[in-house]
Amino acid sequence: MYTAVTRGIRVTVTPQYLEEESRPAAGQYFFAYTVEITNLNPERARLLRRYWRIVDGLGRVQEVRGAGVVGQQPALGPGESFTYTSGCPLQTPDGTMQGHYEMEATDGEIFVADIPAFSLDSPHIKRSVH
């Protein structure tokens, strides 16, 4: 589990490797990640947009931008949380993801809430100890 708190927005991510969706012999590895976004502020905040930076095990970078998450732009009152699960395919057995959400405060101010960097690790990673 990975957690970041920015401007009173707590983002917790739990990644997992999905063996049943992956085809290692074909260089296809699929990961799911569950995100919980909690508003720790005394005022409402709405998630407007997302940005992801995905890096595979060979250092190739993919950037993803879009409105909301899983087709929604949740508005969170004080103490409220929103949880969703999404996925990420990679051509390598490992990688990393990180990013941010653009949030809107009650007064219309737009601010960024960080998504912590987290690793995507499958059991197919070959590592050596020196």
In a domain, 62, yes or no: yes
Answer yes or no: is 91 within a domain: yes
The reply to whether 57 falls in a domain is yes
pLDDT in tens, the chain (130 residues): 999 999 999 999 999 999 999 999 999 999 999 999 999 999 999 999 999 999 999 999 999 999 999 999 999 999 999 999 999 999 999 999 999 999 999 999 999 999 999 999 998 877 656 6
- Number of independent structural domains in the chain: 1
The answer to the question of residue 128 being in a domain is no
Half-sphere exposure of 47 (CA within 13 A, CB side): 30
Residue range of the domain that includes 115? 2-119
Q: What is the CATH number of the domain that holds 115?
A: 2.60.40.1470
Task: List CB contacts of 120: < 8 A, sequence separation 6 or more.
Answer: 15, 17, 29, 31, 33, 88, 90, 94, 95, 96, 97
